[in-house]
Amino acid sequence: MDIVVLLAGLGLLLGGGEILVRGGLALAHRLGMTPAMIGAVVLGFGTSTPELVTSLQAAFAGAPGIALGNVVGSNIANILLILGVAALIAPMVARGAVSQRDVVAMLLATLAGLAVLASGQAGRGTGVVLLLGLAAYLWVSLRSGARVDVPADIAVPVARPPVWTGAALAIGGIAATILGAHLLVGAATRMATDLGVPEAVIGLTLVAVGTSLPELATSVVAAFRGQGAMSLGNILGSNVFNIAGILGVTAVASPLVVPASIGVVDAVTLAGSALLLAAFLWVGRIGRVAAMILLTGYLAYVGWLARAFLP
């Protein structure tokens, strides 16, 4: 029964996130926001709503393993799994596809995440610092006039719909994601207890991949359309927002203690995946061999988790 509830929660998260983004786009166009603002605020925040609401719900429910595991696992899955699948579909020319600013921001966010894991906690002060870092990144990006691509699976409305339409969609999307997160966290927590698996493992794998499905869908669609730069930008931006935004908001709302089940291997995999992506970007190409390296790394990581924790 819990698996049905979990799948229902995932469905509501994904559907709610999609509705929220479309409602946000409608409002943004009605209010005359620039494309850069729409990309940075509406799409950047909206497509990460499932991760944000899930981590908040888990923190308030007293499940820090799921809250932190969701952030760490999503960043690992974004690079090793999602980018691996996208590059396997269509090799990417990475040179010049993304700005050095975004790569540096991703590495700094990863370093901040590692610092949280090493310190063993994420208090309100840490959350404020992370959010200030995110605000600085957004401000620099918008000031530089950076071009922000709209994800390939989201249609930008040409006409400006009524304000009430966008508002209704946004409110409905928020409600769906909150309910979905409640169902997902509850089911995942019960499954972890029944199976004798630490909550962090469920958060690092099942919850992390589930809440990263919007990024997976966007990157796969972009790969099929030959838009490798969009896939890379989607992953870099998501990884920055997951740590600076989601972990920041969660820590401010409900300070977290890092569970012992999130350990050295998770931290090494988080750091290694970020460095591996930076190396591929420096080389200038992410081909099918690189894709297989990424996917093999993810399978090895999940296999380690299974061997270490599952009965």
Give one DSSP letter per residue of 193-243, joined into a string: HHHT--HHHHIIIIIHHHHTHHHHHHHHHHHHTT-HHHHHHHHHHHHHIII
User: Hey, what's the torsion of the CAs at 5, 6, 12, 18, to 10 degrees?
Assistant: -160
CA 227 from centroid of its chain's CA atoms: 20
The radius of gyration computed from the CA coordinates of the chain, to the nearest angstrom, equals: 18
Asked whether the predicted pLDDT for residue 116 surpasses 50, the reply is yes
Model pTM?
A: 0.79
145, pLDDT greater than 70: no
Q: Which distant-in-sequence residues (6+ apart) come within 8 Å of 299 by Cβ? A: none
Higher pLDDT, 37 or 50: 50
Range of the domain at 281: 2-309
The pLDDT value given to residue 159? 52
Per-residue pLDDT reduced to its tens digit, 221-250: 666 766 666 677 778 888 898 999 999 999
- The domain total for the chain is 1
DSSP state of 91: -
Task: State the CATH number of the domain containing residue 102.
Answer: 1.20.1420.30
